[in-house]
Chains A and B, each alone.
Chain A
Amino acid sequence: MSGPSIYQPQSKVLQWLEKRLPIGGLIHSSFIAYPTPRNLNYWWTFGGILSFMLGVQIITGIVLTMHYTPQVDLAFKSVETIMRDVNYGWLLRYVHANGAAMFFLAVYIHMFRGIYYGSYKEPREVLWILGVIIYLLMMSTGFMGYVLVWGQMSFWAATVITNLFSAIPGIGEPIVSWLWGGYAVGNPTLNRFFSLHYLLPFVIAGVVVLHVWALHVTGQNNPTGVEPKSDKDTLPFTPYATVKDAFFMACYCIVFAWFVFYIPNFLGHADNYIPANPAVTPTHIVPEWYYLPFYAILRAIPDKLLGVLALGGSIVILAFLPWLDTSPVRSARYRPLFRQFFWLFVIVCVGLGWLGSKPPEGIYVILARIFTVYYFAFFIIILPLLGIFEKTKPLPNSISESVLGAKA
């Protein structure tokens, strides 16, 4: 796509640089002149928010590393030292811990937005799959970071999650022992998790570059799902998208700050302020809230191997979404039936999250099973069939027509 303006630096230094490394032109065409659909709503600001959150996590993480000790006898103590003694340590750690939650909240909104507006459809399949990869990397990174605190929840989360691999027939046990570097979760485990927790955010940053690259090849989707057809349908990224992104990012930060300053432990678990004890499992263990829906799916199935497969499948299935959704119409605006199934899907996902936090007994198990069935049915039954049977509403001729009416 060609932008409405071309980069022509005035300064002699920039002209000199541009001849040797055209980075100014790349930035200009990607973030200034880049044409964005004129009808983007606030749901489209979460890409920017996510980049910002990744930056927050990397910066606070690097700083926390300067004070943290990845050793079983010292890890918990060093975290407490950060909280009590290190200058602004309490703030840095609370920003990092709540930042993870805000990062996941943003990614879930971003993903639901993608599903609602059909952003994964041709030609954006690779863009979507890169997003699924980023999400998987985020989950691993978040999990390993949580373990570093080395409280009771950390230790038992590490035990339960690594034990998921023991469900693999035959080679499960050797794999688990290899992951641990011992006969149980211990110092080698903590050390390697620390190493990987430091590495993976930079891998995420690398995949984010690919994600943005793929985005800039296909262009952004928009609330109508109709591709821009003329210059009337688009606006330059700066100032229009830049300001909109920045404004909503500031709003998001207010919520973030409210968590950090007023309820910093609201999303955590009191048990994680007890040092890790390999001899006692806490009576009620649950993962962080952003893993709860998957945890509920795991527990809904009364067989170990099938439960683990369902847990993995519930995430992997997202990568196949571009081919499971057979409808040629992208946006839910013009898909009345899909819209209802979509909101039911949102309710089911949130419901699974709630059930994941409840003990696995009685009505909770039954509900979790019903919701799990819907979760998978949405992808492998409803979406393929809707493309065949749904009567969609007429699409607007162009983005500008949908915004300004037919008179434009």
Chain B
Amino acid sequence: MDWLTKLMSLDRRYIFLFVAIGTALPILFPIGFKVSITPPVRNIYDKVESLGPEDVVMFSFDYGPSTSPENDPMADATLRHCLSRGIKVIVIALYPVGGVTMADQSLSRVLADFPQVRRGIDYVHLGYKSGSQATMKQMGESMAAVFPTDRYGTPLEEIPLMKRVRNYDDMRLVVSFATGIIGEWWANLINAQFHVPIAVGCTAVSAPKYYAYLNSGQMIGLLGGLKGASEYEKLLIDHYPDARATYDRAGLYTAIKGMDAQTVIHTVILVFIILGNVAFLAGRGKR
């Protein structure tokens, strides 16, 4: 039992090393664990499936680079789904430190697979706007008052898609990819006052509190962290052959691949928790 005593004084940097190895190996050698679909993710997918080319969906990029490994895959997957169905897309960003850059990068990654999609007609990128709740409320009255121009400086009245989008009434769904409280505001401010359906793709850290909004019907669905994103990717792969080709592409970071590493690391953490407790109890018995 001497090794158990030694375990109690193990340098925590060894644990970091095990976690690093546990992360690196599945990235180098993907395992392909099964992804199961949960109702909150299925609801968003079904909602998008019910829409068509005449409908408008707005994507709000409310996160920055600090959580992009979690939010990027869900943003890419839902954007890809909408464009595959010909749904018109409005992109905005409300997160000050990096939101608009995340939107730029997501659009750039996804649009590469949709050469037929035209800016201003099939999608519009309105860029970032500060003002938080005031901005969000104002969009309920007039999008043009908040965004006089798009990201590239084109006046809104010259953009064909924006001629038929005045405010939230003209949108069938708003999807927020959020790292902080902005995602909550979509549910408890915008849904409550303007009744537009809201879906949120949040980081895992903030997922538990969103379940309250989901349970109360203030959100139609939830993509909780990397797991939620992997489920959406799985739904796309199963139903859209083009998506399968995209997600099979070598070198592409996807949530499904990320979940392999998640599973391995969680196993490593569980083993250390069990060993730590066994060592603690054994040491207490000796004392």
The answer to whether A binds B is no
Q: Which residue numbers of A lie inside 8 Å of B, CB to CB?
A: none
